[in-house]
Amino acid sequence: MNQLLSAIIDLIFPPCCPICKHLGEISSSQRLCPQCQGDIKLIISPLCTICGLPFTANEGEDHLCGNCLTEKRYFTVARAVGVYQGTLQKAIPMFKYRMNTPLTKTLGDILITNCEKLLNPYAYDLLIPVPLHRSRLRERGFNQALILAREVENKIHLPLDYLNLQRIRDTQPQTSLKEKERKKNVRGAFRLREERKVKDKRILLVDDVYTTGATVNECSRVLKRAGTKRVDVLTLARAV
């Protein structure tokens, strides 16, 4: 009955791709038209064994990138589904700044579908989204990292804690800053309400885009300082 009802609804109101608004054949798994679906460049090996940066060569073994050789990473590994270009570069700002509702499920499905290929999601004790400052949360009305984390929670039933890690300083938007400025901008911007809740825990930290890694690295530093056993990072996209 549900399948029949769905078919009737699709006949009267043809499914629409939430990104390009194309009517017609839409992927049932991720609700995208074939063109937008094919325009997602998934990140595959060879890549950096720590931050997940994909290398330009099509062949070769995974190895450390230059930044991870010279800079301290407080997380163990960071993995992203795809490169921040094409479909993901169009979709994430629509989701992040305009709260395009159809994209919520679409991006959540993309993250969930690829999550188990990137990391073992069952190896963690706790799921934590990167927090927004309360002023930014009031302005935007939602935290996109929390929405993505909820999709992961629904898939693997990992406990979700979105209140303990807090952003205590309203930092300048990272998009307008260079790499060194980004690190300085987020230094001391996060704190834990109760450190005991993360002690000896294995944490999966979730965000939408990994750019330089400054934000997730600072979050990881705060978590590790509180006695967290391990912090790994999962994002939807990776800027390269």
Q: How many residues are recorded in the chain?
A: 240
User: What's the token pair of residue 129?
Assistant: 């989204």
Residue 11 clears pLDDT 60, i.e. is over it: no
Lowest-confidence pick of 80-89, 93-102, 127-136, 141-150: 93-102
| CA-wise closest residue to 56 among 70, 65, 46 | 46
Residue 22 clears pLDDT 90, i.e. is over it: no
Q: Report the alpha-carbon distance of residue 9 to residue 238 in Å, rounded.
A: 36
Q: Report the alpha-carbon distance of residue 94 to residue 72 in Å, rounded.
A: 33
User: What's the token pair of residue 225?
Assistant: 């300082």
Q: Report the alpha-carbon distance of residue 218 to residue 90 in Å, rounded.
A: 27
Task: Tell me what pLDDT residue 105 has.
Answer: 85
For the stretch 182-239, pLDDT in tens is 888 899 999 999 999 999 999 999 999 999 999 999 999 999 999 999 999 999 999 9
Task: Tell me what pLDDT residue 184 has.
Answer: 87
User: What's the token pair of residue 154?
Assistant: 């629904």
**Which pTM value belongs to this model?**
0.90
Q: Report the alpha-carbon distance of residue 87 to residue 37 in Å, rounded.
A: 8
Please give the C-alpha separations between residue 17 and each of 21, 54, 107, 139, in angstroms, as whole numbers.
5, 28, 12, 28
Residues 75-81, mean pLDDT to the nearest whole number: 98
Tell how far CA 141 is from the center of its chain.
18
Rg of the chain on CA atoms, in Å: 18
Residue 96 pLDDT level (bands cut at 50, 70, 90): confident
Please give the C-alpha separations between residue 235 and each of 108, 112, 202, 238, in angstroms, as whole numbers.
11, 11, 17, 7
* Pairing verdict, β 165-167 and 190-192: antiparallel
For the stretch 157-188, pLDDT in tens is 999 999 999 999 988 777 767 777 888 889 99
% the chain with pLDDT above 70? 90
Q: Report the alpha-carbon distance of residue 47 to residue 206 in Å, rounded.
A: 20
Please give the C-alpha separations between residue 140 and each of 95, 133, 170, in angstroms, as whole numbers.
11, 11, 13
% the chain with pLDDT above 90? 62
Cβ contact 163:197 at 8 Å: no
Residue 81 clears pLDDT 90, i.e. is over it: yes
Task: Tell me what pLDDT residue 97 has.
Answer: 82
User: Of residues 216 and 24, which shows the higher confidence score?
Assistant: 216
- All structural domains of the chain, each given as residue ranges with its CATH number in brackets, are 1-38 (no CATH), 41-238 (3.40.50)
Looking at every residue in the chain, the average pLDDT score rounds to 89
Task: Tell me what pLDDT residue 2 has.
Answer: 57
